[in-house]
Amino acid sequence: MRGMIVAAQPEAAEVGAEILRRGGNAVDAAIACAFSQGVVDPQMCGIGGFGAMQICLPRRGVHTVLEFLARAPLAATADMWADRFVGQTRDGFVFLMSDHANELGHLAAGTPGNVAGYSEALARFGTMELKDVMAPAIAQARGGFMVRPYVHYYWAIDQRATGQINTQDKLRLSETGRAIYFHPDGRLKQPGDIVANPDLARTLERIAAAGPDIFYTGEIAQEIAADMAAQGGLLTLDDLAAYKVREKAPIWGDYRGFRIAGNPPAAGGASLIELLQILEVFDLSALPHNGAEHIRILAEAMKWMTIDKDAHMGDPDFIDVPLDMLLSPAYATERAARIRAGEKASVPRSELAKDPPDTTVCCVMDEEGNAVTITHTLGQPSGAITPGLGFMYNGTMSGFDPRPGRAASIAPGKARGSAMAPTIVFKNDEPVIAIGAPGGTFIVPAIAQALSNVIDFKMSMAEAVAAPRIVCLSDTIDVSNRVQRGVTDELQAMGYTVARSYQSFAFGAPHGVRVEAEGWTGGADPQRDGMAIGV
């Protein structure tokens, strides 16, 4: 076998698999897949979005993190929306404002990073030309993709109870959105319908021919800046020209003899390592999987992780993130002792229903021992599309706290703290698992449970990512509909508030590839319609 790729969209996974068949390495396959994902799942990610990736190429001595998160416009100020703050979603993902300016339209957008991130990863660590890995995405944009169940679910879900704008309203915001996502009579396209985007195809062709500079300093940058100015957005040519990918060293933790390599702040690797190291103190394998005591431990560990995330996590260029403390096994042991003693941590939130966060992932391992995992997103789709360009801008500003003086507060050029946690797991200094998940604040709990399922409960990767999950990011334990009711009765008898999701596959959507004796195995969470392909 040449390798294995797993992605949340079958069309994009197939693109990456074909790159592996043609002799490309894991980076080539991941970047081809990433460009395709922006076409076939355009509210999950795209060239108007941002992301982070982890790359390990053992034969080249490379192990690095590329961070290409969106950044607040240079014209942004800490207090510009302070008088409009009205609350926060229960999962902590979105800050709510009275006029929705941070969610809808051009003001919601931060400086996009995906074009820079994809291009740098390919140029430095891939083996193929940009035009070659972009060709499948260009063809998909021109020919169209078929609306899949999860795509339509996200478009059609009613988010008004959360205080947010519905995705369907964002799709209607622009002339381009109305033309490509709706039928001529105004009906939203349904599963099985085709969405073609010729404007996006032309934009991708321009980038493939000229390289990323056209997006950040050239003709496309000028078109973006002119539209932003005309529509009252804050992004300018200076924002685009100043954008740089951050390269960082991975951060490390341990879990039962495995080494966990995560993305440092502003991404979510530290939160994942903290959560796993708290769980390591407990003999989870001795407990019934998803029994009451197992879920109690998971929930309390997630609450402590969330308390620390809210207090400390953000862009380290702007705030002091106490990594030594958060990654310390001694600190995890202290947190675990409070859980063992029966203490209930408290994470107060406004009791609003959860939103369905929009993000997607791709993980690849190949015959050279390379491992790549990328998580990318729009943060929230803003609805804004510049005429003629075809792509939707990110809505990253909804993730900044409009209240000054906090870890997540707005600052010019700042990246919002992100739960993205593309992760590589090592055994005896060799990468053995590449894993990631979409799902906003659900990402870290989802990956932690998937890894524990593999390591503690000896599940296959496919079983591990599909097993019922829980999240506890507030004083409520949210459970998948496949968690047994007798278990939730026990939790309620312990004094916990429990909310049952109507979804069988809820709370993030982990996807992973694992090294086995004779190659690789992979798993795609069934929530997102994706697949693993071995080549």
* Residues noted as catalytic: 359
Selection from 109, 178, 144 nearest residue 381 by Cα = 109
Over the range 338-374, which residues count as b (16 or more CB within 10 Å of their CB) and which as e? ebeeeeebebebeebebbbbbbbbbbbbbeeebbbbb
Q: How far apart are CA 86 and CA 102, in angstroms?
A: 12
Residue 493 burial by Cβ neighbours in a 10 Å radius (0-12, 13-18, 19+) = exposed
CB atoms within 10 A of CB 283: 8
DSSP single-letter state for residue 250: P
Strand partners, 249: none
Strand partners, 434: 424, 513
- Cα-flanking dihedrals φ and ψ of residue 82, to 5°? -60, -35
Q: What would the two tokens of residue 305 be?
A: 């992780």
For 10, the 3-state DSSP assignment is helix
Helix count (H) and strand count (E) of the chain?
A: 18, 22
Strand partners, 247: 66
Residue 404 burial by Cβ neighbours in a 10 Å radius (0-12, 13-18, 19+) = middle
Residue 6 burial by Cβ neighbours in a 10 Å radius (0-12, 13-18, 19+) = buried
The answer to whether residues 109 and 384 touch, using CB atoms and an 8 Å cutoff, is yes
Cis preceding linkage at 266, omega within 30:
yes
The number of C-alpha atoms within 13 Å of 257 and in the hemisphere containing its C-beta is: 4
For 408, the 3-state DSSP assignment is coil
